[in-house]
Amino acid sequence: MSGKRKYFSFLSLGVLFVLTFLLQYYFRAFDDNRLSSWEPAFRFADFRQVLFLICLGMIVAWPLSRLLSVRRYRPILLFACSYGLGMLFWNEPELILDASRYFVQAKHLELSGPVFFLREWGKEIFSWTDMPVLPFIYGVIFRYFGESRVFIQIFTTFCFAMTAVLTFWLGRKLWDEETGFTAGLLLLGIPYLFSQVPLMLVDVPLMFLLLLSVYGFILSLERGGVMVPLAAASLCVTFFAKYSAWLMLSEILVVFAAYVIRGDGLSKGHARTKQYMLRGGMVFLLSALLIGLVWTLKSGVFLSQLTLLKDYQGPGLRRWGESFVSTFLFQIHPAVTLAALFSLWAAIRKWDVKYILVCWLPLLVVVLQLMRIRYILPVFPLLCLMAAYGLMQIRQGEVRRYGISAVVVSSVLVAVFAFRPFLNATSAVNLKQAAELLNTVNATGAEVFTLYAEDSPAGPAVVVPLLDLFTAKRLAYHDAVKRNLDSAEVRTSSLRFTWEYVNPDYYAPTGDRHKDAAVVIVQGRREEQIPDQLLQKTKSYRNVRVFGQDENEFEFKTFVKVYFN
């Protein structure tokens, strides 16, 4: 390609990416994502600043694209870039109330040990519809490294960064190194992902575990030996990470079928069909034995959870869903989505059987109408592999690499300068800042009171673990408003678990345990009337700090007052 034509292509692509951002901003009302929608995000972000940065980014994308042609240390580059970008979001508050459950489960293990956790999970340990693997890992981290959120973030960010590396390895194995590297980079073209990396949830680790299971299973088929039990163990761990993983593990059956049908490393011929069948069968048998053992030990808990999922979660998803327009045109960069769609035509034209391995789950998401982005998040690496396959049809390498660089740059800028300011302005940040203040005051602990009306959208008890996550002080919780759990409003609420949740005994006030404690009041309204008894209790304190940040978007609020001497 001549120099003039190449630079014209760069300029055209840069203008196209800027126009894409402008269209996304103009039609932002169509983004109905429940966490990081463009509509509220750009009430906090400066649109002109982001537009200027994206225009500048299209210029910077050119020298960055030249770096993408370097073939040495690509896995290290992917890991370092992903980890570094993930760290930019570590100052986020815990944005989703589900984190309270995972924290409480993990703290049980921290305080009472792994044996207690395994025995009481689903009994004394409130498990809702959670599965035990990730809370167990979080509890081990707390027990042996310390009860600090930063250690959880180190782990979740590691999972995110290793997902990019595994995406690279899987693409390289299926096609070539360039396809794998492109797919790993495109994972950074999903702005929504960055907001999830630092949270104490299970979705980002599940994304890593699912891809690890797929890659490990492929290695077990090709190499056998020690990879067979390792692949079986990985499948078992993924199976008990989240119920939605069961559907996603159908990917393993697709991989197995592709290898058996093609017979020789996904290429023509049947020389190794029997070997693949034997190795795959061994993986399935070992993983079934491991899964069966765990299931037998906790069958009662799992069956009750499945009943709850069938009667509550399944019907509820139709009410709480987010549109595909939001997911694939706003939360994922549109270029990734369009490249993935184009790849369907390219693969059909080539009759590429290997493509089935990466398109199976994304197509399943569309066919089954799974319209909740957190539940389909583990499928994103495969979507990026589809997009990479589509982009590899562009023969001009320099133009292709510029487009990839532009996707990453524009997505990162939106995530950092639009999503992050909004998420750090939510009322959830009040809990984080109040807890950080508690760490600095001279108090033995803190007594926590919650003031919420009976029509609160969520049970207030869940704010205590979220406060505890950020403070080293011991907390004592004085129970708050109760609600009729049999009411239709509660039974169909997306936050039903918050009303069924009861704080563990380690938050119970006991005698003079908090004689010199601070007092923390969490309110659902900024000017909630404080009861006289509580006013008398706080009158003796010399200092009070009020944390009243409000994003005016989410219904459940956490305004906090801290009284201390």
What's the per-residue H, E or C state across 468-522?
Answer: HCCCCCEEEEECCCCCCCCCHHHHCCCCHHHHHCCCCHHHCCCCCCCCCCEEEEE
pLDDT (mean) for 521-547:
90
d(C-alpha 115, C-alpha 418), whole Å? 44
Asked whether residue 461 is assigned to any structural domain, the reply reads: yes
Asked whether residue 452 is assigned to any structural domain, the reply reads: yes
User: What pLDDT was estimated at residue 69?
Assistant: 86
Q: Which residue has the tokens 């492929």?
A: 218
What are the pLDDT digits (tens) for 282-312? 999 999 999 999 999 999 999 999 999 988 8
Please check whether residue 231 is in contact with residue 283, taking contact to mean a CB–CB distance below 8 angstroms: yes
Q: What is the largest CA-CA distance in the chain?
A: 83
User: What pLDDT was estimated at residue 311?
Assistant: 85
Residue 212 tokens read as: 């690890």
Task: List the beta bridge partners of residue 445.
Answer: 474
d(C-alpha 15, C-alpha 3), whole Å? 18
Is the pLDDT score of 317 beyond 70? no
Q: What is the torsional sign of CA 245, 250, 256, 262? A: negative
Asked whether residue 448 is assigned to any structural domain, the reply reads: yes
Q: Which of 68-72, 206-210, 315-319 has the lowest mean pLDDT?
A: 315-319
Asked whether residue 407 is assigned to any structural domain, the reply reads: no
Is the pLDDT score of 486 beyond 80? no
pLDDT (mean) for 65-89:
94
User: Which of helix, strand or coil describes residue 366?
Assistant: helix
Is the pLDDT score of 268 beyond 60? no
Percentage of the chain exceeding pLDDT 90? 80
Asked whether residue 342 is assigned to any structural domain, the reply reads: no
Please check whether residue 404 is in contact with residue 182, taking contact to mean a CB–CB distance below 8 angstroms: yes
pLDDT (mean) for 341-352:
94
- Give residue 4's identity as a one-letter amino acid code: K
Asked whether residue 6 is assigned to any structural domain, the reply reads: no
H/E stretch holding 547: strand 543-547
User: What pLDDT was estimated at residue 93?
Assistant: 97
Arithmetic mean of pLDDT over the chain: 92
> Structural domain of residue 452, as residue ranges?
428-564
Asked whether residue 476 is assigned to any structural domain, the reply reads: yes
Task: Fill in the DSSP letter of residue 520.
Answer: E
pLDDT band at 134 (very low <50, low <70, confident <90, very high): very high
Please check whether residue 153 is in contact with residue 134, taking contact to mean a CB–CB distance below 8 angstroms: no
Count of structural domains within the chain = 1
d(C-alpha 89, C-alpha 85), whole Å? 8
d(C-alpha 203, C-alpha 81), whole Å? 20
> Shortest CA distance to 105 belongs to which of 509, 520, 501?
501
Residue 362 tokens read as: 């994304």
d(C-alpha 317, C-alpha 312), whole Å? 9
Residue 210 tokens read as: 């699912």
Question: Sheet holding 474-478: strands in order across?
Answer: 474-478, 445-451, 518-523, 559-564, 543-547
* Residue 17 CA: distances (Å) to CA of 61, 193, 199, 324, 407: 11, 20, 30, 21, 8
User: Which of helix, strand or coil describes residue 544?
Assistant: strand
Reduced 3-state DSSP string for 269-306: CCCCHHHHHHHHHHHHHHHHHHHHHHHHHCHHHHHHHH
pLDDT band at 270 (very low <50, low <70, confident <90, very high): low
Residue 206 tokens read as: 């599940």
H/E stretch holding 541: none
Percentage of the chain exceeding pLDDT 70? 95
What are the pLDDT digits (tens) for 192-210? 999 999 999 999 999 999 9
Residue 251 tokens read as: 């990917």
Pairing assessment for the beta strands 543-547 and 559-564 based on DSSP bridges: antiparallel
Asked whether residue 498 is assigned to any structural domain, the reply reads: yes
